[in-house]
Structure 1
Amino acid sequence: MNVHIDQAKQILVANDRGGYTVPTDRLYPFQWNWDSAFVAMGFALYDTDRAYRELERLVEGQWADGMIPHIVFHQPSDTYFPGPSVWRTKHAVPTSGITQPPVFAIALRKLHEVAGRQAEARTLPLYEAALKWHRWWYRARDPEGSGLVALLHPWESGSDNSPAWDIALARVPTTTDTPVVRKDTGHVNAEMRPRDEDYKRFIHLVDAYAACGWDPAKQWKKAPFKIAEIQTTAILLKAGEDLEHLAGLFGRTEDAAEIAGFNDRTRKAILSQWRPKLSRFVSRDLISGDDVEAATQAGFIPLLSLDLDAGIADALVTEMKAWSKGLKVAFPTTKPGIAAWEPKRYWRGPAWAIINWLLIDGLKRNGHPDAAEELRKSTITAIETEGFAEYFDPVTGEGCGGLGFSWTAAAYMWLTKAASTAARVQ
């Protein structure tokens, strides 16, 4: 038995808070949206009942309009800021007021396939929740029908302080109605976390949307930050494909047609964001109208959800190899060597196991199994050497951020399973 698999399972047990998992103790003491979707895929490998519970507990936070928030505050904790009193949302279970990348339906399909037909009664309510959420994305975050969904807060991307936001975020004031009392830097070295100035802008946005009563139409009009984002849209499309598949399984023909319509529109929209000169896809700043040309991992995530022309896929892989050259751990979340690159600071350079997991699936989908295997081995080696850290310094290999991290444990289990499956097939 792989000792690291045992350790990964122990981390999920240690981070279990009663049917839902916190990302890590103290630093993130609540249930996070996309974290839980990745964690559910980890549980699905050995405990389908617990995997279902993870998603069911997350859906307890779903709003009447369909949004699944990025944080569900099941129990009080004073180790995290901003807590429920800052968000000022009006939901039966306290939640944040923004969302996160919709990995949920990707996890649900994998879970249903493992659990089998007898689990249909448990899958169906979660399928309904996922469909409501996808409808929310297209209604609330793409009201003009472009096919690309927009983020109104950097936290919605999951890549909170990415260089992708630097230009747009600089337009957001640093004034806040809420005292900014950070807790994260008490748990983790401040050099690894977003800067204070970023935090003031993050909280300014929270204040602005709380003043709108979290009404999506009002927020859309007032938003001082509005990015049609390529990573989130690509994840939405992959989740949409999986949702369409489940609709077909359950004989929901009208749902399947509706979801297919969303997916077709989004597929075309993502392709229109390909920039040959940059060898990657780009997001669009909806306030300035400009491309977001910052060199981050987001530009490669469309591999996950598109069957690309060989020329585009080859260009993406060539660019990925150039970014990874000479690094101890791939794949960096910012292009090494550019001014914005900080190899230890959160989303400004480090390698993340879950991003690698998405990229590995995308590389396999687009006919690059060797590049996928190289990235898989890099990720596995980093974890086996440094432990289940939140992320890794790509230059030194050091595990950074929070330790004993749930989604890193889930990624490890999934990536080692992928290897053993491949070995049996050969």
Structure 2
Amino acid sequence: MHHSLPGPAVPQDMSADLWNSAVCALGGHKARGSWDVAVTAIGLAYVSPTRAWSDLRHLFEAQRPDGQIAPDGFVEPPLHAVAAWEVYRRAAAHGTVCAHEAGTELSWLYPRLVAQQDYLIRGRDAGGAGLASVVRGADAVAECPSFNAILAAAELALVHLAAVVGADPTEHRRRARQLTETIATRLYDEQTRTYRSRNVRTGALSPVRNADGLMPLLLPDLPREHVEALVAEVTSPRFGLPATTGLPAPSFDRAAPADSPEHGRSIRIDVNWLLRRGMLVHGYRDEAEDLRTAMIRLAHRAGLYEGFHPDTGAGVGAPAFGPTAALSLDLLADRSVPAYARAT
């Protein structure tokens, strides 16, 4: 395993402690579920790329004939193409053997990633508008802005993966543009200037403000006024970036009434990792760096928990949580801007 440690802009002893803790936690973690496999692969890219490829291959060996990946019984956001790109682009740092392995694994995985996208875009378009639908709450079928933003980001990652395996990236570019346009026109609420889930059966936008509505920031072709509105939302008291709270953003509105179901939902590192990525896509580098540092400090102080209390930062849920450990490694190691970021 490769354990070299880069030098992020946090105290070196904190970086070393967190790196070692994360490597240990990730080493003992067995990925469960589709999302878990994708997220942990991003961290494994630094310390055990062979295991990252093995986990992805094991997941996709169980892919259904229609392209669906649902080992845990329900469909989770398709972060796998993004993860595959992250593992591939770091392979050369581990030597020629790992680089060769990455090319071989990617050639096997690429058509299966395409089949997954085909299933989600065509097979789950319950609303007929070109967006994937998922089950939310009491069996409500909804078009979720977060799920569909990750779906579009996967197409952007597939543009780069196609170039590696010698495939034509044209359809991936077209799909990414089309998904972005549909998300922007169908899920954006002009009145509140936020993104909301749309109930497929009723056509109504959800009244809930949560982190799902911030994820379209991942998309470089989002209308500029929407980007500015989302950044205003995430820096408002509802979510409160580190400049005002010292903590990463919670998954739900901080200002929600105490008796509402969304009050007090935890801070999650995976949600903030995606949010930081979206900020980098649109050139908000200072805000992204503040968020990166806040996540690192929180994980070091509280531990590698599944989540964290939105007010105190205390760890909640499972300790030594693999996805938190995996993304902590990435936060320590990588300050690069996503390859498909908007030029600034």
**TM-score if structure 2 supplies the norm length?**
0.84
Measured against aligned partners, the alpha-carbon deviations of 1:188-221 in whole angstroms (never above 9, x if no partner) come to: xxxxxxxxxxxxxxxxxxxxxxxxxxxxxxxxxx
DSSP-derived class of the 1:226 partner:
strand
What corresponds to 1:360 in structure 2? 276
- Structure 1 position 361, deviation (Å): 0.5
Q: Cα distance 1:311–1:268, how it changes in 2: closer, same or farther (>3 A)?
A: closer
Q: Is 1:69 aligned with 2:70?
A: yes
Letter in 1 for 2:270: I
Q: 333-342 or 125-134, which moves further after superposition?
A: 333-342
Q: Is 1:289 aligned with 2:207?
A: no
1:243–1:259 contact (8 Å) kept in structure 2:
yes
1:147–1:268 contact (8 Å) kept in structure 2:
no
Letter in 2 for 1:381: R
Match of 2:104 among 121, 124, 133: 121
Q: Is 1:320 aligned with 2:234?
A: yes
1:34–1:70 contact (8 Å) kept in structure 2:
no
Aligned-partner Cα distance in 1 for 2:290–2:207? 27
- Structure 1 position 394, deviation (Å): 1.4
Letter in 1 for 2:230: L
- Structure 1 position 12, deviation (Å): 1.3
What corresponds to 2:95 in structure 1? none
Aligned-partner Cα distance in 2 for 1:10–1:46? 11
2:37–2:56 contact (8 Å) kept in structure 1:
yes
- Structure 1 position 382, deviation (Å): 1.1
What corresponds to 2:8 in structure 1? none
Match of 1:112 among 88, 106, 116: 88
Instruction: Give the root-mean-square deviation of aligned CA atoms.
Output: 2.0
What corresponds to 1:185 in structure 2? none
Letter in 2 for 1:50: R
Aligned-partner Cα distance in 2 for 1:148–1:318? 26
Measured against aligned partners, the alpha-carbon deviations of 1:284-328 in whole angstroms (never above 9, x if no partner) come to: 100111012310001110001233344322221121111244535
What corresponds to 1:334 in structure 2? 252
Q: Is 1:401 aligned with 2:314?
A: no
Q: Is 1:265 aligned with 2:170?
A: no
Letter in 1 for 2:156: E
Aligned-partner Cα distance in 2 for 1:250–1:235? 22
Letter in 2 for 1:69: A
Q: Cα distance 1:386–1:315, how it changes in 2: closer, same or farther (>3 A)?
A: same
What corresponds to 2:75 in structure 1? 99
What corresponds to 1:135 in structure 2? 118
Counterparts of 1:14-413 in structure 2, within 5 Å, are 14-15=28-29, 21-22=30-31, 31-71=32-72, 96=73, 98-116=74-92, 118=100, 119-142=102-125, 145-151=128-134, 153-154=135-136, 165=137, 169=138, 172=139, 225-253=140-168, 256-272=169-185, 273-322=187-236, 323-325=238-240, 327-339=245-257, 340=260, 344=264, 349-413=265-329
DSSP-derived class of the 1:147 partner:
coil
Aligned-partner Cα distance in 2 for 1:241–1:145? 22
- Structure 1 position 282, deviation (Å): 1.6
Letter in 2 for 1:259: H
Aligned residue-pair number: 309
Aligned-partner Cα distance in 2 for 1:48–1:330? 28
What corresponds to 2:20 in structure 1? 6
Letter in 1 for 2:27: V
Aligned-partner Cα distance in 2 for 1:144–1:390? 33
Measured against aligned partners, the alpha-carbon deviations of 1:109-148 in whole angstroms (never above 9, x if no partner) come to: 1111122562211111111111111011122111665221
**TM-score if structure 1 supplies the norm length?**
0.69
Q: Cα distance 1:143–1:248, how it changes in 2: closer, same or farther (>3 A)?
A: farther
Q: Cα distance 1:308–1:263, how it changes in 2: closer, same or farther (>3 A)?
A: closer
Q: 115-124 or 228-237, which moves further after superposition?
A: 115-124
Percent identity among equivalent residues? Answer: 27
What corresponds to 2:12 in structure 1? none
DSSP-derived class of the 2:130 partner:
coil
DSSP-derived class of the 1:292 partner:
coil
Q: 390-399 or 60-69, which moves further after superposition?
A: 60-69
1:41–1:107 contact (8 Å) kept in structure 2:
yes
Q: Cα distance 1:313–1:227, how it changes in 2: closer, same or farther (>3 A)?
A: same
Q: 312-321 or 131-140, which moves further after superposition?
A: 312-321
Measured against aligned partners, the alpha-carbon deviations of 1:203-251 in whole angstroms (never above 9, x if no partner) come to: xxxxxxxxxxxxxxxxxxxxxx210111000000001111122113322
Letter in 1 for 2:322: S
Aligned-partner Cα distance in 1 for 2:246–2:261? 16
Gaps of 5+ in 2: 6-15, 93-98, 338-344
What corresponds to 2:331 in structure 1? 415
1:307–1:365 contact (8 Å) kept in structure 2:
no
- Structure 1 position 342, deviation (Å): 5.0
Measured against aligned partners, the alpha-carbon deviations of 1:371-413 in whole angstroms (never above 9, x if no partner) come to: 1112112211111111000011110111101111000001111
2:43–2:326 contact (8 Å) kept in structure 1:
yes
What corresponds to 1:194 in structure 2? none
- Structure 1 position 334, deviation (Å): 1.0
Gaps of 5+ in 1: 16-20, 23-30, 72-95, 155-164, 173-224
Aligned-partner Cα distance in 2 for 1:144–1:320? 28
Aligned-partner Cα distance in 1 for 2:320–2:161? 33
Could you say which structure has the larger radius of gyration?
Answer: 1
DSSP-derived class of the 1:114 partner:
helix
